[in-house]
């Protein structure tokens, strides 16, 4: 499933719905403002009328009309254009004397002075084509600081809405792997008393530490302003681990000889790995992780210190064993610069079976080999992660 395309379509649909709602609200606000203005104008006109109800049909002068022209009040009210009214010819019969003119004006009550309605504060214009999101505004303020890092969310942070939710990642790391259970104690009994000897191996189980390195390629999914999830393919390898112990061999205990032996182990892992991170505002990302896949455990260089008087003992061929493997761990990543994180962590790894190859005594092949069913490692790791 294409999560990126699905997420894009969902975001586009949400933006379209928000745009429609914004336009509807803007239209409703505009209609209410127009209605209020019309009501205010009507109220103002009704309060400042000329009170000519008793002299509708009388000839009186109008403030906007020259003194030598007089019109009926209803003509002034019905006239839509004052220029037409001024250019209209008045018949001499309708003119009135100066004295009559003055008496008419005295009989007309003065207009009532009313307070004009207080001017309404002009509301800021709303851009119908801009959807303002408080989260995006906060993110823009955050990024205005030139020293701020480029996070994907606000408090985590980087802008969850302005950054893409999927980012490629490349990680490389190195550290140390330690185990205290290398090798296994095992006994090969005498089968033929006439020709055979017994071989009793006792592993020393000394703690062994070896360097390791790993690399990962994957993708990071920021599904929440604080949470993100990484998934990828991880390759890890330890350098040489040394399994060692003591060997007791002979026809019986009285005539047995004691030898020292050791062999080398190199482990390789190819895993599908997942990591869940939580982001704080200061650029710190604690995480938990787990992975599962295959391990390739190579054993070689079996050596036993054979004394000069002993002519033969068991020897083993090199071998490469494949087994199911898994890891689990915790750690923390810290943003250093843009697109780069430094992390430290601990991992517990189970690498499966480790076994030597077939055995021989001198030139004769014999049955049985040294095999360890489970190898466990404790790994301390330092990792650099590049977020693309």
Rounded mean pLDDT for each run of 10 residues along the chain, 388 residues in total = 60 73 75 71 52 44 47 46 50 49 53 56 52 62 53 42 74 94 87 82 89 96 91 96 91 85 95 94 92 96 82 88 96 93 96 93 88 93 94
| Final residue belonging to a domain, choices 73, 93, 114 | 114
Same domain, 250 and 327: yes
CATH number for 202: 2.40.160.20
pLDDT at site 245: 93
Q: Is residue 40 part of a domain?
A: no
Give the end-to-end CA distance of the chain in Å, rounded to a whole number.
22
Residues belonging to the chain: 388
Contact (Cβ atoms closer than 8 angstroms) between residue 152 and residue 336 = no
Instruction: Supply 107's token pair.
Output: 């009989």
pLDDT digit string (tens) for 89-137? 444 444 445 455 555 555 555 555 555 555 555 555 545 445 556 666 6
Same domain, 209 and 66: no
Q: Is residue 120 part of a domain?
A: no
Q: Is residue 32 part of a domain?
A: no
Same domain, 82 and 224: no
Q: In the chain, where does DSSP find H-type helix?
A: 3-47, 73-78, 82-87, 98-107, 134-144
Same domain, 110 and 170: no
Which uninterrupted H or E stretch holds 214?
strand 208-221
Q: How many domains does the chain have?
A: 2
Q: Measured on CA atoms in the order 273, 278, 281, 284, is the torsion positive or negative?
A: negative
Beta bridge partners of 327: 291, 349
Same domain, 76 and 183: no
pLDDT at site 235: 97
Q: Is residue 308 part of a domain?
A: yes
Q: Which domain holds residue 282?
A: 164-387
Give residues with Cβ within 8 angstroms of 150, minimum separation 6.
143, 158, 338, 339
Q: Is residue 3 part of a domain?
A: no
Same domain, 189 and 327: yes
Same domain, 169 and 288: yes
| Final residue belonging to a domain, choices 114, 145, 172 | 114
Instruction: Supply 291's token pair.
Output: 């992975």
Same domain, 210 and 316: yes
pLDDT at site 13: 73
Same domain, 189 and 101: no
pLDDT at site 43: 56
Same domain, 171 and 99: no
Q: Is residue 371 part of a domain?
A: yes
| Final residue belonging to a domain, choices 83, 99, 114 | 114
pTM of the model: 0.57
Same domain, 294 and 359: yes
Contact (Cβ atoms closer than 8 angstroms) between residue 65 and residue 94 = no
pLDDT at site 7: 63
Q: Is residue 296 part of a domain?
A: yes
Q: Is residue 151 part of a domain?
A: no
Same domain, 95 and 194: no
């Amino acid at each position: 499933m294409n999560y990126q395309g699905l997420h894009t379509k969902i975001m586009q649909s949400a933006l379209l719905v928000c745009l429609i709602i914004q336009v509807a609200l803007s239209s409703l606000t505009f209609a209410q403002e127009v209605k209020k203005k019309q009501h205010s104008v009507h109220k103002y006109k009704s309060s400042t009328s000329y009170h000519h109800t008793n002299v509708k049909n009388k000839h009186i002068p109008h403030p906007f009309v020259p003194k030598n022209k007089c019109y009926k009040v209803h003509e002034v009210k019905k006239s839509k254009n004052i220029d037409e009214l001024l250019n209209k010819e008045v018949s001499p019969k309708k003119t009135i004397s100066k004295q009559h003119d003055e008496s008419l004006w005295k009989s007309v009550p003065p207009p009532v002075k009313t307070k004009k309605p207080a001017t309404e504060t002009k509301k800021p214009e709303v851009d119908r084509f801009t959807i303002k999101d408080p989260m995006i505004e906060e993110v823009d303020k955050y990024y205005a600081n030139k020293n701020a890092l480029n996070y994907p969310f606000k408090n985590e942070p980087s802008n969850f809405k302005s950054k893409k939710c999927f980012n490629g990642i490349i990680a490389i790391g190195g550290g140390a792997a330690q185990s205290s259970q290398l090798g296994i104690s095992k006994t090969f009994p005498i089968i033929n008393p006439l020709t055979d000897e017994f071989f009793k191996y006792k592993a020393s189980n000394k703690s062994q530490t070896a360097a390791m390195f790993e690399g990962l390629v994957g993708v990071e999914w920021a599904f929440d302003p604080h949470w993100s999830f990484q998934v990828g393919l991880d390759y890890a390898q330890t350098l040489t681990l040394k399994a060692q112990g003591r060997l007791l061999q002979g026809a019986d205990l009285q005539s047995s000889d004691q030898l020292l032996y050791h062999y080398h182990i190199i482990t390789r892992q190819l895993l599908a790995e997942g990591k869940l991170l939580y982001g704080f505002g200061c650029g710190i990302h604690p995480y938990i992780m787990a992975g599962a896949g295959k391990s390739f455990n190579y054993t070689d260089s079996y050596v036993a210190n054979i004394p000069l008087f002993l002519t033969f003992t068991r020897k083993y061929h090199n071998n490469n064993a494949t087994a199911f493997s898994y890891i689990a761990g915790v750690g923390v990543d810290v943003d250093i610069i843009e697109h780069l994180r430094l992390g430290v962590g601990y991992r517990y790894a189970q690498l499966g079976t480790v076994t030597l190859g077939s055995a021989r005594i001198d030139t004769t092949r014999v049955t049985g080999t040294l095999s360890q069913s489970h190898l466990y490692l404790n790994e301390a790791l330092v990792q650099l992660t590049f977020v693309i």
